[in-house]
């Protein structure tokens, strides 16, 4: 298989895995890989003081409790599991892309960018860092910046194999 084919496969799998990671992490309610269970409700808190735990007044019947709870019977039903697996694939494809490219500085950047994005996802997750709970808008901004950092880098910064290197192995 030629270097350009391996690079193409690594980039395609990296892009697919990145978006699986983003969507799975958002469905999981954030990064909850360290045993602290983040709740879906915490991400809906706003500056007005309403959270999903607050009862909602309905006409006629009083209040409805809308508390959300995780209902996963098996580990493979949790979106967080797919987020972890996808992130590992993102890192493996980043290392592959960096190795194939052969340029040290941009190769290091290619491997570090997913971790920088992960750090922003962790900061955006309520209580993933003890005592840190940002406003909803700031959390959303951090997630968007994390996505932008990775997307811009993968389009502009990763190392490319030198022209004419179509060796087969």
Q: How far is CA 14 from CA 5, 19, 81, 130, 167, in A?
A: 14, 9, 17, 31, 22
The span from the CA of 139 to the CA of 30, in Å, is: 10
pLDDT at 38: 41
Do 158 and 106 contact (CB within 8 A), yes or no? yes
The span from the CA of 154 to the CA of 78, in Å, is: 28
pLDDT at 28: 87
pLDDT tens, residue order, the chain (169 aa): 888 888 889 889 999 999 999 999 999 888 877 655 444 333 333 444 545 555 555 555 554 544 445 566 677 778 888 999 999 999 999 999 888 877 788 888 889 999 999 999 999 988 778 877 888 999 999 999 999 999 999 888 766 655 554 444 4
Which residues are within 8 A (CB) of 22 and not within 5 positions of it... i.e. 6 or more apart?
147
Residue 120 burial by CB count (10 A; 0-12/13-18/19+): exposed, middle or buried?
buried
The span from the CA of 144 to the CA of 138, in Å, is: 10
The span from the CA of 108 to the CA of 161, in Å, is: 15
The span from the CA of 138 to the CA of 96, in Å, is: 33
* List of long-range contacts for 134-141, beta carbons under 8 Å, 24+ apart: 135/45, 135/46, 135/47, 136/43, 136/44, 136/45, 136/46, 136/47, 139/43
pLDDT at 33: 74
């Amino acid at each position: 298989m030629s270097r350009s084919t391996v690079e193409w496969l690594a980039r395609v799998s990296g892009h697919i895995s990145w978006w699986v990671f983003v969507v799975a992490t958002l469905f999981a309610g954030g990064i909850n890989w360290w045993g602290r269970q983040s709740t879906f409700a915490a991400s809906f808190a706003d500056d007005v003081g309403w959270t999903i735990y607050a009862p909602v007044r309905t006409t006629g019947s009083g209040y409805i409790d809308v508390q959300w709870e995780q209902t996963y019977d098996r580990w493979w039903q949790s979106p967080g599991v797919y987020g972890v697996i996808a992130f590992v694939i993102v890192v493996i494809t980043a290392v592959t892309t960096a190795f194939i490219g052969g340029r040290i500085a941009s190769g290091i950047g290619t491997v570090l960018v997913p971790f920088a994005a992960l750090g922003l996802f962790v900061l955006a997750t309520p209580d993933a860092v003890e005592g840190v709970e940002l406003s909803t808008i700031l959390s959303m901004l951090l997630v968007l910046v994390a996505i932008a950092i990775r997307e811009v880098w993968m389009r502009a910064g990763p190392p490319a194999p030198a022209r004419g290197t179509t060796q087969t192995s």
